[in-house]
Structure formats: structure tokens, C-alpha cells
Structure 1
Amino acid sequence: MDETRLLAAARGGDADAFGRLTGAYRAELLAHCYRMLGSVHDAEDALQESLIRAWRGLGTFTDGSVRAWLHRIATNRCLTLIARRARRELPADLSPGAPLSEVAWLEPWPGRTSAQRSAEAAAVQREHVELAFVAALQHLSGSQRAVLLLRDVLGFTAAETADQLGTTVAAVNSGLQRARATLARRRPTPARRPSDDMIKTLTHRYAAAWHAGDVDAIVALLAEDATYSMPPLPQWFSGRTRIREFLLERPLLHRWHFLPARANGQPAFGTYLWDDARERWTWAGLDVLRIEGEQIAEVVSFLLAPPGDFGLPDEFGTPPGL
């Protein structure tokens, strides 16, 4: 059934038709809410509330793009939440002296990139959920965030964006210009993207180095100015020397096993600590790696990330594959 017929059936009270009508846009809408809010759980709540509002407001939708209509509802719901809540942060982005009691932490994104017609399209989609991009977005005002995402990520025209936000084309263009300028200042300097083979080699060596407890091998894979953080802990470390000191002081006093994963379109690992008493590997967090060129530029270890969201176990005995 085409979209026109689904819409007509949904207006007649057919909930299944509404589900099919909106189902084609759910993944895109959820990713949009995540970019706006920096939280998987807030994004899921915002999407559910948006779909409820869409169902109740079917009678007010008369013509035009269903996709644009749904994004208008979701964007405005996100803007309401942004006005009420603290922005999401990563430790390295915290302002000096920021009261930690008021800090909300950015969450990793488990969503899979959908099938694409070209490798270039897949790379663009990954870029728009990468941690550095989503973290930088959180430093824009809500309206600037919305304008940039609707225009530069989702591809709506200035006129469509103005209609969605209830503003003017001039205001959209002005907000987009300011948002792009702020984003350019906050995002890491673009570097040569590594090949898939390089990513595979680096991540394999990184996991092997942790399994062996070899601090020199770990540090050798890092960029000279690499950063290492562990939200919700506010401390973070910059540079090979300081990261090496930290690893020797705390993490490498224990045994580790890493299981490969993906988060934010980036290579990641589920990290597990050995429990002597139970003789089990137990969940410790999710490490998300940013790779630039042939080195690891950043490691963000999300200590509270739920393993199930990333297809990983809470614990295990013999590591899978061994």
C-alpha cells in the first residue's frame, strides 16, 4: 500500500496503517532525536511522544510530506526537552569549575547505519552520529541545533525548515551560519579517515595489548595528543605520558578482556574485568574509539553503558571465540 492509501487508512482509525506509515521514518527520527538530545533514552522517549502526538493530530495534517510533518513534531518535542534540561557533556568538554551536580553526560549511540547505495553515503551517515559531532552539537542553542540538523543532515530546504520551526527563511539562514561557525570551532580538526583494513588492524592490536596488560603497546597506538575519559567520572587525561601513568596506576592492575562492538558509527569494545571469586569476566563499560589516520585519537569509556544495547553479554566464562 502506498503512502497516500496508508495515510487515508490511518485517518480512518487504522492503527496498523499508521504504524506502517511512520515505520519507514522511525530509524531516521530516532537518530535525529538522539543528535538533538545526546541521550538514547531521551531520544526514545521523545520519539514515542512524537508518534503519539502524530496519531492524535492526523486530522490536522492535510497535505505535504509525511516525513517533514513527522520531523516537525519530533524537532519541536526535542526543543521543549532541551529548554528544560542540562546539555549533555563529555568530560573533556566540561567548562572549568562546572558544578558536577548539574552535569548530564552524553550517551553512546547503538543504532546501526542502514544499508546504503554507496560507501560514500555510508561514510556520511556515520559522520553524523560520531561522538565528536554529537558532542559539538550540544554546545549549540536548541534552535541552532535544529536548523543545522534539518538543513545539513536531513537535507530539508530553508523554506521547509522555516515551516517546521515556525520561523522565517532569513532566520533559518542566519541560524545555520552561526551554527556552522560554532561547530567548526568545537569539532576536532578533520584528519585523513583510516581505511577499513587500518581500523581492523588497529583495533585488533589494541585489544591484544589490553589482554596482555602491555601498557607500552597500548600507548604506542595512541596519537601524541590523544585523550582518554570515563564518563560519569569527570577526570580525563590528555597525551601519551599522562594516559600511560593513569593506566599503570589503576586499570592495568587488573585483567581485561575486550569484545568488539560498534557505537556512534565508530569502532568500540565491550570491556570486561576478571572476577577471581566467581571465575567470570564481568561488564565494566563500553570503550568508543576515534581513529585518525593510523592512530587512536580518543578513547571514551562509558562506564554506565548497558551491554545489551550493543549486543553484548553482562558476563561470561570463556571468552567467545576461544
Structure 2
Amino acid sequence: MIETTPSPPLMTAFDALVRPHRRALHLHCYRMVGSFAEADDLVQETLLRAWNARDAFDASGGEAGMRRWLYRIATNACLDHLRSSSRQAASARSFAEIPWLQPYPDVLLEEEAVTRESIALGYLAVIQRLPPRQRAAFVLCELLDGSAAETASLLETSVAAVNSSLQRARATLSRHEPPARGDTVSADERALLEAFISAHQSGDCKASIALLTRDVRVTMPPLPACFEGVDQVLPLMERANAMGEWRLVPAWANRMPAAMSYLRRPGDPAFRAFKLDVLHVRDGRIHEITTFEPRLKAAFGLPEVLA
């Protein structure tokens, strides 16, 4: 008799094989598509494809073979997704022009050896400029330390094609890549975040402005909004203060200082999640604030309402 429903022991054994790779696969998908939520979906799609193709897997390769197999499936799932979405970021000047870009919680990076440079929002925004297959070659070789031969095998192309893709990708990054910084959050950045939180909560616009560079930018993906310079940002802060009372909670994202902001409007007894600010620091001051919707609060381990 043909078994149409897999047995629980078989599913348990399969889960035990793929579970150690889930977090790394999620990060890989995130780098490919720039969206945390889409990476969630793509990991599920990857595991479904892997399950359906399990009989074709060659177990003789051991753990390394499993990793290569899963990355091949995940990369192809991402490429299929990017082809179907037909979105373009080649001419994007800022995060505001990449509306699908989302932050990545540092709490999910703790078990991964991930440098700040390779996960920073500015770096990911540049990667989104690359055509899909060029992006895949770059991520696999540069960020996952794969060889050109391994990447060519995974992408089912030639080594020459991979090297050509890498050359073009590196040229794009050399033109647009933001300045490199240290791999860990510094004490100065932690102090800057504390000062940002204090000024925001107290409604002290003067103290907030003192933390910013004169050419500061505030972007709000997915909205096509970009506020440049202190003269544009100050009225934005004043409008925020008029909305109600604020409470902020540190929430590190993409190896960068960030804060989840909770707003209590007049007449509302509760502080409700309103936005996530990710701070880009330059020379000891905040050079850019990328403001996201609070929909990923659960991934950051934060509540909808502050007690």
C-alpha cells in the first residue's frame, strides 16, 4: 500500500536534520530579499521543497552536504520569489525608496557569527540594487564564504559566470557601500541610544537635535517619505511630541542601536507600540533614523502594550 501521509517518526527525523539550519537559512533569505517577513515565508517554502525532495537527498555528504542542499533550495526559492515580484531597487537613493526593507532583530543573530557590516541596513539596501542572480552569487561567495566553484554548482552555472557576477556586484558595492564600522556596538553608541531615549521620552526637542548631525535624514519605509537636515526633522519631532506621551525600549537591530517607541495618546490608559527607530551613527552622532512600523515587535521579544 502506498503511504500518502508521512509517519510522525519520519517527520520528526526530518525536522531534527533541518532544525540546526533554520536560523542560518532565515538570515540567508533575509539578505536575498531584504524583508524579515518574506524571509519567514521563504524558509517555510524552502523546508516544504526540501521535504518534497527528501528522497533525492544524498546523505553521504553528511552535515555539510545537508547545508549545501538546503542553501541550494533556499536560494532557488528566493530567486523564484524575486522573479515573481519584479521589484526594482537599482536606482534607489535611500531606504525610503526600498519599501520592502525591514529590520532584523539582533536577538536572532546571537548564535550566528554575523559582522555588523554584512547585516547593516545600508549594506542590505545596496545589495538590493543587484540583479537577483548577481545578488545570489555575491551573497553565497562574499557573505557565506563559498568558492566560485561551489556557487556555480549551486546556481547551476559556470565558474566564469559566477566570477563575472562577482566582479559586477563588487563594482556596484564600491560605488554605493556605506562606510565600514566596528563589528560590535560601542559604549559610545549605547550612551547615544540612552540619550536619544531620554530626549524622546521627555519631549526635549533641543536635546534630541543636539544628538543629530546637521545633515541628518529620517526615512520611513514603506512610506516614500524622506526628511533631510535639522530644519526638516525638528518640525517632525514637534509633531510627534504633540501626539501624546512616549516610552521607549532599547531594541537592537542589524547590529545597530534601535528603540521601540510606545505612544500613549490622550484619553488612552496604555502605551501602545507605534514605531521602531533604527539609528545610523556617524562620528558620534545620529546621521540617519530609519523609522519602521512596529509589526515585527514579537520578533524583537517586545509586547504590543507596555504594562
Give the TM-score, by structure 2 length: 0.87
Q: Equivalents in 2 of 1:263, 1:286: separation in Å?
A: 10
Secondary structure of the 2:129 match is coil
* Pair 1:128-2:130 in alignment: no
* Pair 1:42-2:38 in alignment: yes
Alignment map for 1:1-322 (pairs within 5 Å): 14-62=10-58, 63-64=60-61, 65-87=65-87, 92-93=94-95, 104-110=99-105, 112-115=108-111, 124=115, 126-190=116-180, 196-248=186-238, 250-254=239-243, 255-317=245-307
Q: Structure 1 residues 94, 288: closer, same or farther in 2, change over 3 A?
A: closer
Count of residues in Structure 1 that have an aligned counterpart in Structure 2: 293
Q: Structure 1 residues 246, 91: closer, same or farther in 2, change over 3 A?
A: farther
Q: Equivalents in 1 of 2:196, 2:125: separation in Å?
A: 24
**TM-fit CA distance, 1:193:** 7.1
Q: Equivalents in 2 of 1:189, 1:72: separation in Å?
A: 31
Q: Show CA shifts across 1:263-319 (max 9, x none).
A: 2222211111122212221211111112233111211111253322211121235xx
- Asked if 2 retains the 8 angstrom alpha-carbon contact of 1:88 and 1:105, the reply is no
Q: Show CA shifts across 1:122-161 (max 9, x none).
A: 5x2x332221111111111000110110001111111000
Secondary structure of the 1:25 match is helix
Q: Equivalents in 1 of 2:198, 2:287: separation in Å?
A: 18
Q: Equivalents in 2 of 1:230, 1:56: separation in Å?
A: 40
Give ranges in structure 1 of 5+ residues lacking alignment: 1-9, 96-102, 318-322
Q: Which amino acid aligns with 1:43?
A: A
**TM-fit CA distance, 1:194:** 7.7
Q: Equivalents in 1 of 2:291, 2:87: separation in Å?
A: 19
Q: Equivalents in 1 of 2:225, 2:34: separation in Å?
A: 20
Q: Equivalents in 2 of 1:313, 1:91: separation in Å?
A: 33
Give the stretch that moved more between structures: 147-156 or 257-266: 257-266
Q: Equivalents in 2 of 1:289, 1:195: separation in Å?
A: 12
User: Counterpart of 1:100?
Assistant: none
Give ranges in structure 2 of 5+ residues lacking alignment: 1-5
Give the stretch that moved more between structures: 192-201 or 215-224: 192-201
User: Counterpart of 1:3?
Assistant: none
Q: Equivalents in 1 of 2:301, 2:148: separation in Å?
A: 39
**TM-fit CA distance, 1:30:** 0.5
Q: Equivalents in 2 of 1:113, 1:16: separation in Å?
A: 26
Q: Equivalents in 2 of 1:189, 1:38: separation in Å?
A: 19
Q: Which amino acid aligns with 1:213?
A: G
Q: Structure 1 residues 280, 265: closer, same or farther in 2, change over 3 A?
A: same
Secondary structure of the 2:168 match is helix
Secondary structure of the 1:24 match is helix
Q: Which amino acid aligns with 1:84?
A: S
Give the stretch that moved more between structures: 188-197 or 222-231: 188-197
Q: Percent identity?
A: 37
**TM-fit CA distance, 1:91:** 8.2
Q: Equivalents in 1 of 2:122, 2:294: separation in Å?
A: 19
